[in-house]
Structures are given as structure tokens and as C-alpha cells.
Amino acid sequence: MARKAMADAILSSNRYTWDVTTQLREKIGAMYGFNQDYVVMGAGSSEILGVVAQLASLQRGNAISADPTFSIWATAAERLGIQINRVPLTAEKKNDLRTMLSKLNSETRLFYICNPNNPTGTILPSAVIRDAALEASKQCYVLLDEAYLEYTDEPSLASLVKENKNIIVAKTFSKIYGLAGARVGYAIAHPDTIRQMTSLQPWSNAGTSAVSLAAALASLDDKSFLANSKKWNREASDFTEKELRSIGFSVIPSNTNFIYYSLGNFSGNWPELLKTKNILTGRIVESNGQWTRTTIGTMDEMKQFVQAAKAIV
């Protein structure tokens, strides 16, 4: 449905898109019981994270984040004068919320939680995230990154923004909707917070292209694709995790569209050896244990990956 909508939208690409952006904001807002004033669009959720980093940086201070986690926003925040307090994950590779909360002080401007976490693929129950978010929001902005949440059965915490101006939920069409290249993301927040965020965008209601907007609108109606995307991702993930364990790798159960595993027992140059098999994989994220990340593709692609992995090992 998205592909057809994108093709049709080419004919309207000579026009500015603020009216279509408003339609998408209305549709997204309705999904969570809100109106359009609770939604702002971005070029993927990465733009949203960057805008929140700017918002938090209007007052010098610090931010609290897990380590490792998705940190594309951190560089901008540090350049703008924010010190990042990075808290190591637990032994299970999960966000250590208790320790993160203990780092809060009067100078904290931003508390970031990615759930499920990137790059580890681990997840905490939404109820646990909710309690931490409400506690941290008493002192600073809380940015909840739910980019991968649709791969799980956990509910979104978007409802928290109705009464809480310090909580911002970032979402994207890049993952389960399959629109990474279209660059469509959004934030859900209290209207007062949305206004502060949009003041930091050059043109908040016309930043997404007509073609990308059409794809996002169509995707929200394509329930069968969404269900299949989740199902096929789970099947390919389960298969790959099992195969990697069978050849001696430690693997973290994934709640996302990627797999996090340890190369601690492997002495070769994993990325370069896979490259000779025409497969690209991620960098070493954690040197202790040589943890790395590989994106889940189709079942056929993962079979090719497993075959290459077995040949290398």
C-alpha cells in the first residue's frame, strides 16, 4: 500500500505538504487518543531526538543515558554544552534504571530511555519504564525512544504525555513499517512541549516530502503488512539466534529487527570475513566480550548469513 501511495504522490510533489502533514498528525494523534496538537513530524525519529537534545540544551546541564544505547542525539547535546552521564547496562544488557535515576540532580536536563534498547535488543516492561519516566520527569525532560516497540507486545507510554509536559515519546516509520529511506518519524508530547519543539525546526509542518507522507498515511492502514512484518521478523530472528548459538556464540534474545551477539570466542576479523561473503554487519559495540550487531533480513538472507558464519567459524 505504501509503494502505490508513493507512486501516486509523485504527481502532487510540486506542492508544499503542510495540509498532508496535518492529516498525518491527525491520524497519528487519533491512534493514541489525542488530536494533532500532540504530534510533531520529523525526518525519521533521529530528527526528533536531535530537536529534543536542542530543547534540553537551552539550559546548560547534564543528560542521563544508558551505555551502550542509541546515541545519535548525544553528539549534538555535548556540542551545545550538555554533559552526558552514561550508565552501564546490567549484566543482562538491559537499562539499569535504578542507577540511572540515582544520577539525577538539579542540573539534569534530559533522561533518555530506548526501549527496546538499541543495540542490545533487550526490553523492560512498560510498567517499569513508566515508573522511571514519571520519577525522572519531576526534574527534567524524559525522552522515551520507542523505535522498536512495535516488534513487541508491550504497550506504548504515549498516554503519559496528556498530563505530563516533561515526557516526550519518539516513534518512527523506519522499522516495522519498512520506510527507513522515506525518513518519517514523529514525537508525541503535551501541546506546550510540542510548541517548544517546533520552534526549533525551520518549518515544522512542511519538512516531510509529499511522497514520504503518502507512504506513512498508507502504512497506518496496511494492517496485514504490519502483522506480516512482525511475524516474518520473529521467524527470521528465532532461526538466526538458534543457529548462532549452535556454532558457539552467546546471543541476547532480540525484541527488535537486529541480533546482538558476542564474538568473544572468535579470533578472526568478523566484519571483514563476512564482507568477503558479500554480507555487511555492524561494528564491535562493546570490546569486553566483542559484542556486535547484525540486522535481521528476510529468511533467505538470514540463511545466507548463517551459511557464511558457519563457513568462517
Q: How far apart are CA 28 and CA 218, in angstroms?
A: 12
pLDDT at 267: 87
| Amino acid identity, position 295 | T
- What is the CATH number for 267? 3.90.1150.10
Same domain, 121 and 213: yes
Same domain, 34 and 181: yes
171-182 per-position pLDDT tens digit: 999 999 999 999
With beta carbons less than 8 A apart as the criterion, state whether 108 and 64 touch.
yes
Counted domains in the chain: 2
pLDDT, tens digit (0-9, with 9 covering 90-100), for 219-242: 999 999 999 999 999 999 999 999
229 in the same domain as 171: no
Q: Tell whether 216 and 229 lie within a shared domain.
A: no
Percent of the chain at pLDDT > 70 equals 100
Mean pLDDT of 119-129: 98
Mean pLDDT within 85-90: 98
Whether the bond between 116 and the residue before it is cis, its omega within 30 degrees of 0, is yes
User: What per-residue confidence (pLDDT) applies to 278?
Assistant: 95
The residue segments making up the domain with residue 110 are 2-221
Mean pLDDT over each residue of the chain, to the nearest integer: 97
On whether both 266 and 231 belong to a single domain, the answer is yes
**Tell me: the pLDDT tens digits for 26-65?**
999 999 999 999 999 999 999 999 999 999 999 999 999 9
- Per the CB < 8 A criterion, the answer to whether 82 and 61 are in contact is yes
* CATH number of the domain that residue 88 is part of: 3.40.640.10
pLDDT value at 104 more than 90 = yes
What pLDDT shows up at residue 307? 97
Tell me: pLDDT of 251 over 90. yes
Task: Please tell me whether residues 248 and 101 are part of one structural domain.
Answer: no
pLDDT single digits (tens) 262-273: 999 898 899 999
